[in-house]
Amino acid sequence: MIVLELFVVLAFIFIGARIGGIGIGLAGGAGVIVLSLLLGMPTSQTFIPIDVILIIMSVITAIAAMQVAGGLDWLVEKAENFLRKNPKHITFYAPVVTYLMTLMAGTGHTAFSTLPVIAEVAKEQGIRPSRPLSIAVVASQIAITASPISAAVVFFSGILDPVGVDYLTLLAICIPTTFIACMVGAFVANFMGCELKDDPIYQERLEKGLIKLQGETKREIAPTAKKATYIFLAAIVLVVAYAAAISNSIGLIENPTLGRNEAIMTFMLAAATLIVGMTGIDASKIPSAPTFRSGMTACVCVLGVAWLGSTFVNGHVDGIKEVAGTLLQDYPWMLALVLFFASMLLYSQGATTVALMPAALAIGVAPVTAIASFAAVSALFVLPTYPTLLAAVEMDDTGSTRIGNLVFNHPFFVPGVVTITTSVALGFVVGGIVL
């Protein structure tokens, strides 16, 4: 029976992946029906990661308010100025920009705005755009596992608390290891593919007049942009400061009346309130902001696929513990492989974390192993169908950022695998020192 149930889980994940976008969440809900009503597996609302969904909603609301006020445009302008001042090292500076923007916003979709700039600056310097674009996309994905306000980090830190690892310790390990890994990935990406001038596809497109240099464009920045951005960034600082104050390691506030997860939700909603009140933007425009729509899509995805995965895992936790427990104790790096392949299908760091990390800790995986492997939930670049990856391909009119006939032979694969492998390896080293 377990084989049939596992087949149902994988089948509905595959169906969701084929639908794309929100489809993974829709198919996940349908899979729960099959597991419970047709196969008799018990399920419960307690299997739904309510806190994760609510945190995504709260954070995305604040980001969307900042976007409506022009804050994201202002950040992109700053990023563009930085990249244009350092054009020769675009392959290293591009991932720095996308990493930091994701770190601050808790969503990799902020990379959409910077990808056209990266492609243009690379072309202007005669640098193969696939090099900075590939590692920039990867950096925007792996930074989710280091962002203080991402749903994946908040959920993971919550289940690590009972085993003695607090929120600040998790960030202290994940931020440096993932950032250094991105720089290693950038070094590798810098040697990927032939030089742009030697690329036959580029030469062909150049002869046909299909390649254009747009040059620096003047952005219209709303007068409310800076104020909205400062409010949002202040909220992030307050979240981290409050989490530190109530943590066991610092303990400035004992028996807090407001928990960490609740603080994130309320601080983000309060930030959105301040942005609306102090900038005078129309609050009715917030739900129509692109970041809001992508965030709500993420909520549905986490709801469906996490419920599906949790239903299966909770139904067989003893058997999984017996089979996988010893194996992971002998070969702890295998957890990273499991997370890597799962995230390929689930298309969400949050959904992968919610679906698999509780089971990993339940079967006795050491905290250092779980934390080191955490970066592997970011393998969204493997299948060339993720939105930011496709956007990078579309925005590179030189044709250097292209997807091959074999599906996996695209410029994102090698830098991405190198980045995750490096982060996991560094995670074991740094985690072993910190813990």
In tens, the pLDDT along 292-314 reads 888 888 788 888 887 888 888 77
d(CA 92, CA 99): 11
pLDDT at 270 over 80: yes
Q: What local confidence, expressed as pLDDT, does residue 360 receive? A: 85
Confidence of residue 218 (pLDDT cuts 50, 70, 90): low
Of 126-140, 155-169, 196-210, 371-385, the one with minimum mean pLDDT is 196-210
Q: How many domains does the chain have?
A: 1
Where residue 289 falls (left for φ over 0; alpha for ψ -120 to 50; beta otherwise) is beta
Q: State the pLDDT at residue 141.
A: 93
CA Rg value for the chain: 22
Residue 381's domain spans which residues?
A: 2-434
Q: What was the pLDDT predicted at 199?
A: 82
Choice among 6-15, 167-176, 244-253 with the minimum mean pLDDT = 244-253
Alpha-carbon distance 276 to 344, whole Å? 38
> Quick one: average pLDDT of 253-265?
86
Written as one letter, the residue type at 364 is G
Q: Following DSSP, what letter does each residue of 288-337 receive, concatenated?
A: GSHHHHHHHHHHHHHHHHHHHHHHHHHHSHHHHHHHHHHHHHH-TTHHHH
Residue with tokens 């980090």: 153
What is the pLDDT at residue 186?
96
User: Average pLDDT of 387-395?
Assistant: 82
